[in-house]
Amino acid sequence: MKKIWGNTRGLKAGQVHRLENLYRRRVPPEYLITPELARDLCQLSQEIQRQIGLMIDRAGKLAYVVVGDAQGIIIPKLLEYRASPGRLRGLRCIHTHLKDESLNQDDLTDLALLRLDAMAAITSDDQGFPRAVFWAHLLPRPEMAQKPYELREKLLPHQLAIEFLDLIQAIEREMGQARPQAKIAKGSEQALLCSVTTMPRKKALDSMAELSELCRSSGIDVVDSLLQIRKEVDSRTLMGSGKLQDLAIRAMQLEVTLIIFDQELNPSQIRSITDQIEIKVIDRTQLILDIFAQRARSKEGKLQVELAQLKYLQPRLVTKNTAMSRLTGGIGGRGPGETKLEINRRRVRDKIHQLEKALIEVQKHRKQQRRQREQKGVPVISIIGYTNAGKSTLLNTLTHSQVLAESRLFATLDPSSRRLRFPRDMEVLITDTVGFIRNLPKDLIVAFRATLEELESADLLLHVIDISNPRHTEQIATVEKLLNELELENIPQVRALNKIDLVDPEALPILAERLQGVPISAKERATLTPLIDKMAFVIERAIDA
C-alpha cells in the first residue's frame, strides 16, 4: 500500500486504512473530482478534524494522499513529476477546508510555484457533505496579467464534470504557442537577476548592470531583474519569505530557468531559498566560476578553475540540491562534473590537496622562467585592468599578434606573452593577464595566485582603463585595491585611458589630467605612440635606477 504523507499521528488504524484505500479510487478525465470521492474525502476530514489533500494525475490516479492539520496541508516534494518550461506539472491538488472559505493565499501560491494543473478546496457541512468546490488554474500567458492564475466560479457537487482534461491540455497548448521560439530553439538559459542589499541605490544598480554583463559573457539571456534595498538583510533568505514567494511567482510568470543573486549565498541561505523555489538558483560567485570554467584553455588554467570550484563547493556539500547543478555540471558539463555532488568531504579535501600540489609545481616552473628572463635582462611589462577594458586588444595592436579579444567579460583567462621592440632598440616582454572585477571570489584569487605572481617580476604595470564606462572610477579603485592586497603597489605604473573614440573629445583633456593617464584607442596603432614613449621612459628610468 502506498504511503500516507503528512500528519498521521494520533489517527486510528481504521482511519489510516480508509486513507490508504483512497489510492484505489480513479477520477474520469472530464471530472475535476467525482462527487462520491469529494463526499468521502469531506466526511473523513470532518471525522479527524484535519485537512486532507489528494494529488491526482491526468490519468485520474491518486499520486499522493496528504494529511495536514486544521489550517492546511504541506505538499510533499513532487520528485516524480517535473514541470518543464511551457508545461504544467501534470498534477492537480484537491483538498478539504474545515471552514466555509475559498482558496487562501497559501493555496494560490502553491498553485503558482509548483505549476500545478489546478488547485481546489472543498467545503462541507457539519455532517461532512460537500457544499462547494472553490478552484483555480494557471493562466496560459501569465506575463499579460497581474496574477498568474485565474480564480474560477465555485462549483456545486453536481457540477464537477467540467471537461477538466480538455481544459488543461488547451491551456498547455496556448502556453507552448506563447513561448518565444528563440527559447525553444537553443534551450538557452533565461535568467531573472536579483539583488538584496543595504548599499545605496546607485551602487546597487551599477553592480546589477555588471551582473547582467557577466550573464551576457556566459551566454545567459537576462529576462528581468529585481532590486530590493533593505535596512538589514534577512540572514536566512536575504529578502524574507513573502518577497521570496513573490520572486518565485515572477520567475514562473516569465518562465525563466535560472535565478541569479548578486550577493554570495552561504550554504544555509542556498538551502532555505531552494526549499521554496524549484528553479535553479546560483549566486554571483558561481556565475564567475562558471565563466572561468568556460574560458580556461591551458592545463594550468583548468587546474586553477577546478581548485576554486571545489573550494567553493566544499562547505556546500551538505545536501544535494538544485543550486549546485550549474557549478558542478554547468552548461555543457563544464567544471568538476555532476558526479562531484556524490563525493564526500574527505574526497573533496583529497582532490583539493592534489590540485594545490600541482599548482605548486606550476609556481616552481614559473619561477624558473622568471629567473631565465631576469638573467637575459629583458624588461617585463604586465598589462592589468578591469575585465573588458581592452587589454588583449591593446596587446594585439602593440605586438601585431592574434590573442583572443572579445567585447565580453573575462574573454582572456590564460595569460599571453609577446615581445615588443621600443625605440632605441630596446626589447621588452609584454604580458596580458586575467581581468579584475569587483568582489572577485576569494577562492579564485587564491587559485590564480600562481598567475598573478607573474606581476611581482614586472618592471612596469600597464593599467588599461575603459574611460567610456561610466563606472571607470570604481573600476580603477577595484584594481588598485587588488594590487594592494597582492603587495604590488610599489611597481611603477602607467595608465592607458582606452576607448577615446567613445568619449566626448572636449572632456578628454580633463579626464587625462584627472586620471594622470595617456589617452589611446587600443584598436588604432596611430594613437599608441605617446603611450609607447611613456612606457619606454619609465622602463629606462627603472633600469638606470
Residues 480-498 have pLDDT tens digits of 988 888 788 888 999 999 9
Cα(319)–Cα(234) distance, integer angstroms: 22
Per-residue model confidence as pLDDT tens digits over 226-259: 999 998 888 888 888 888 888 888 887 787 889 9
How far is 541 from 477, CA to CA, in rounded Å?
Answer: 26
Least confident interval from 24-38, 58-72, 387-401, 522-536: 387-401
- What does the pLDDT read at residue 49? 94
Mean pLDDT of 322-347: 50
pLDDT at 340: 45
Q: What is the pLDDT of residue 414?
A: 52
- The one-letter amino acid code at 432 reads D
**Amino acid of residue 354:** Q
- Report residue 511: phi and psi, to 5°: -65, -45
Domains of the chain (ranges, CATH numbers)? 4-178 (no CATH), 184-288 (3.40.50.11060), 377-544 (3.40.50.300)
Return the CA Rg of the chain. Answer: 30
Whether 309 has a pLDDT exceeding 90, the answer reads no
pLDDT given for residue 331 in this prediction = 36
- CA pair distance 220, 258, nearest whole angstrom: 9
What pLDDT sits at residue 375?
A: 59
Give the pLDDT confidence score for residue 328 in this predicted structure.
46
Q: How much is the average pLDDT of 458-486?
A: 90
Query: Per-residue confidence at 141, pLDDT binned at 50, 70, 90?
Result: confident
- In this prediction, residue 274 carries a pLDDT of 84
Look at residue 344 in the predicted model and tell me its pLDDT: 63
Helix (H) / strand (E) element for 353: namely: helix 345-376
CB of 2 closer than 8 Å to CB of 23: yes
Residue 436's pLDDT is: 79
> For 377-407, where are the alpha helices, taking DSSP H only?
391-399
What percentage of the chain reaches a pLDDT higher than 70? Answer: 84
For the chain, helix (H) and strand (E) counts, in that order, are 18, 17
**pLDDT confidence bin for 93, thresholds 50/70/90:** very high
For 428, other C-beta atoms within 10 Å of its C-beta total 19
Structure-block grid coordinates of residue 250: 515572477
Q: What is the dihedral of CA 497, 500, 505, 509, to 10 degrees?
A: 10
Cα–Cα distance, 382 to 434 (Å, whole number) = 11
Q: Cα separation of 276 and 467, whole Å? A: 43
pTM: predicted TM-score of the whole model, two decimal places: 0.74
- Predicted pLDDT at 12: 94
Question: Region 204-217: what's the mean pLDDT?
Answer: 90
Mean residue pLDDT across the chain: 83
Write the DSSP assignment of 299-343 as a string of letters. Answer: HHHHHHHHHHHHHHHGGGTTS--GGGHHHHTTTTT-TT-GGGGGS
CB 139 within 8 A of CB 145: yes
Alpha-carbon span 4 to 64, nearest angstrom: 7
